[in-house]
Chains A and B, each alone.
Chain A
Amino acid sequence: MDWSEERSMIWNLFKIEGMKLKRITWITPILSGLLLLIVTIGEWYLFFREGEGGVYASFNALYLFVSISFLLTGNLLITMVVGTEHESKGWKQFLAAPLSKSHLYMVKLAWVVALILVQGFVFIIGWALIWHVYTTDPLPFLFLLKQVFYCIIATLPVLIIQFYLSIAFENQAIPITIGVLGAIASLFLARSQVNWLHYLPWSYPGLVTPFLPNHIHWLQISLGISTILLLFTNWLFYNKNWN
Chain B
Amino acid sequence: MMNNIIETHDLCCQFNRIKSVDKINIQIPEGAIYGFLGPNGAGKTTTLKMLLGLLNPSSGSIKIFGEKMPTNRISILREIGSLIESPSFYGHLSGYKNLKIFASIYGLPNSAIEDVLNIVELTPHANRPVKHYSFGMKQRLGIAIALIHKPKLLILDEPTNGLDPAGIQQIRDLIKRLPTLYNTTVLISSHLLSEVEQIATHVGIIHGGKMLFQDAFDVLRKQQTSYLIIDLEDPSKAYQSMQKTGWDITVNHTAISIRLDTPGQKTKIFECLKNFNIINVKEKHRSLEDIFLDWTGVKKEV
Contacts and interface: CB of A to CB of B under 8 A. Distances in A.
Interface stretch (A30-38, A89-97, A158-166, A171-179): A89-97
A92 B92 contact: no
A23 B90 CA distance: 13
Contact of B54 (A12, A22, A95, A99): A95
Interface string B95-125: 0010011101111000000000000000000
B252 to A, nearest CB: 48
Interface in A210-243: 239, 241-243
Contacts of A69: none
Interface string B75-101: 101101010111111111100010011
A13 B80 CA distance: 19
A95 B102 CA distance: 12
Interface in A82-115: 84, 87-90, 92-100
A97 B105 contact: yes
Contacts of B85: 89, 92
| Chain A interface helix/strand/loop/mixed | helix
A242 B90 contact: no
A46 interface: no
Nearest to A93: B88
Size category, B interface: 20 to 34
Contact of B90 (A12, A88, A98): A88
Contact of B93 (A20, A89, A92, A98): A20
A243 B145 CA distance: 21
A105 to B, nearest CB: 15
Given A96-B80, A97-B102, A20 B53 contact: no
Interface string A56-88: 000000000000000000000000000010011
A93 B86 CA distance: 10
B104 A15 contact: yes
Nearest to A8: B107
B206 interface: no
Contacts of A133: none
B102 A12 contact: no
A13 B56 CA distance: 24
A19 B53 CA distance: 25
B52 interface: yes
Interface residues of A, number: 25
B56 A87 contact: no
Contacts, number: 73
Contacts of B84: 92-93, 96
B56 A239 contact: yes
Contacts of A12: 104-105, 107
Contacts of B78: 98
A98 B97 contact: no
Contacts of B145: 93
Query: Which 7 interchain pairs have the tightest Cβ spacing?
Result: A93-B88, A242-B54, A98-B78, A98-B77, A89-B88, A96-B52, A98-B74
Contacts of B102: 97
Interface of B: 15, 49, 52-56, 74-75, 77-78, 80, 82, 84-93, 97, 100-102, 104-107, 145
A16 interface: yes
Interface of A: 12-13, 15-16, 19-20, 22, 84, 87-90, 92-100, 239, 241-243
Contact of B82 (A20, A22, A89, A96): A96
A4 B101 CA distance: 22
B55 A88 contact: no
Nearest to B97: A19
A241 B104 contact: no
A20 B82 CA distance: 20
Given A12-B104, A97-B105, A92 B88 contact: yes
Given A19-B100, A100-B74, A241-B56, A88 B105 contact: no
Contacts of B87: 89
Contact of A97 (B77, B86, B92, B93): B77
A89 to B, nearest CB: 4
Nearest to B48: A96
Nearest to A19: B101
A239 B55 CA distance: 9
Contact of B105 (A84, A99, A239, A241): A99
Contact of B86 (A20, A89, A239): A89
Nearest to A84: B90
Contacts of A92: 49, 52, 54, 84-85, 88
Nearest to A20: B90
Given A15-B104, A97-B102, A98-B75, A242 B88 contact: no
Contacts of B100: 19
A12 B107 CA distance: 9
Nearest to B91: A88
Nearest to B157: A92
